Copies of this chain bind each other. A is one copy, B any other.
């Protein structure tokens, strides 16, 4: 009878019995440890082959305290950014035999801590957090955590981080707009509790404008949330309240930028002739809107890979370090400016 690779519910005890050895010896063969005679080894391997036996991760983990599972906490799973991040992590983790246990907070801050607890109970070997905010409770939780941990996207003191260079990226983009001859530049940001996207990018914009000695009208600086509709509304407010209309708008995410473009199209502003527009994120969409959107590519997959690699280093080498890795970015200048 041919065994089609079905995994039967066999235990190490049965294998031991069938091979006429103790389960200790079977375990040695399984883990390639200690002394085992060639004789016993082949006999055991043969039985394993025949039965299709696979050791229970369950029992193994209970004893060894290792699960080969990494918990990944995300603010959402619906966006491209999350997808790319996870894809990058998975690429590295899968190679090392780890699997990803998902934890989706749906942007609810309190769930970040809840999930850290839950993942700890599940004995994951490590945790990667794609963070959207920094708060003391979370920082406290992380620093007292005795599981290898890496945060992506926000800087936590005393924690290993993979960071995007939000500040310089946003300054570069602002400078690009200035270099293109714009002096009235609008800005669409998000709440500053998101230090990376909200605070740093805004600060970079204002710093660069200040350095260029360009004044920024209050109404030109608007705040939105992470969706397209919000970009539309932000630019609507901007245009309604401005004394003088801006000739360029820098939005801190592509979605906000695309929302802004919608508004501009609707009211027949020409892009980039009347108003230039720029975003951040290099979403797939950004390439196919009309005109193609100038944006910044943050290389999210690379970030995922980097985070996974750092985590694995911490796990395997018991690396206690708290590295800060700042990833590079690419400014993609397209027809919208």
Q: Which residues of A contact B (CB under 8 A)?
A: 4-7, 54-59, 61-62, 67, 69, 76-80, 82-84, 86-87, 90, 94, 99-104, 113, 117-118, 120-123, 140-141, 144, 228, 258, 261-262, 265, 284-285, 288-290
Contacts and interface: CB of A to CB of B under 8 A. Distances in A.
Nearest to A81: B83
Contact of A78 (B58, B84, B120, B285): B84
A301 B154 CA distance: 29
B79 A83 contact: yes
Contact of A102 (B90, B120, B265): B90
Given A79-B83, A117-B54, A102 B104 contact: no
Contacts of A144: 4, 6
A247 B181 CA distance: 43
Contacts of A87: 76-78, 104
A123 B289 contact: no
A118 B7 CA distance: 10
Most B CB contacts (10 A, CB to CB) among A67, A261, A290 go to: A290
Contacts of A84: 78
B100 A58 contact: no
A77 B83 contact: yes
A123 B57 contact: yes
A103 B99 CA distance: 7
Contact of A86 (B54, B56, B77): B77
Contacts of A141: 4-6
Contact of A5 (B86, B102, B117): B117
Nearest to A62: B58
Contacts of A121: 7, 54-57
Nearest to A6: B144
Contacts of A90: 77, 102, 104
Given A144-B4, A262-B288, A99 B82 contact: no
Contacts of A79: 83
A120 B54 CA distance: 10
B102 A99 contact: yes
B57 A59 contact: no
Contacts of A113: 5
A228 B83 CA distance: 18
Contacts of A288: 228, 258, 261-262, 285, 288-289
Contacts of A57: 121-123
Nearest to A118: B99
Nearest to A301: B78
A284 B86 CA distance: 20
Nearest to A82: B83
A77 B288 CA distance: 21
B94 A83 contact: no
Given A5-B117, A101-B101, A288-B288, 10 more contacts: A4-B144, A54-B121, A55-B121, A57-B122, A58-B122, A62-B62, A78-B87, A100-B101, A101-B102, A289-B290
Nearest to A86: B77
Nearest to A103: B99
Contacts of A290: 265, 289-290
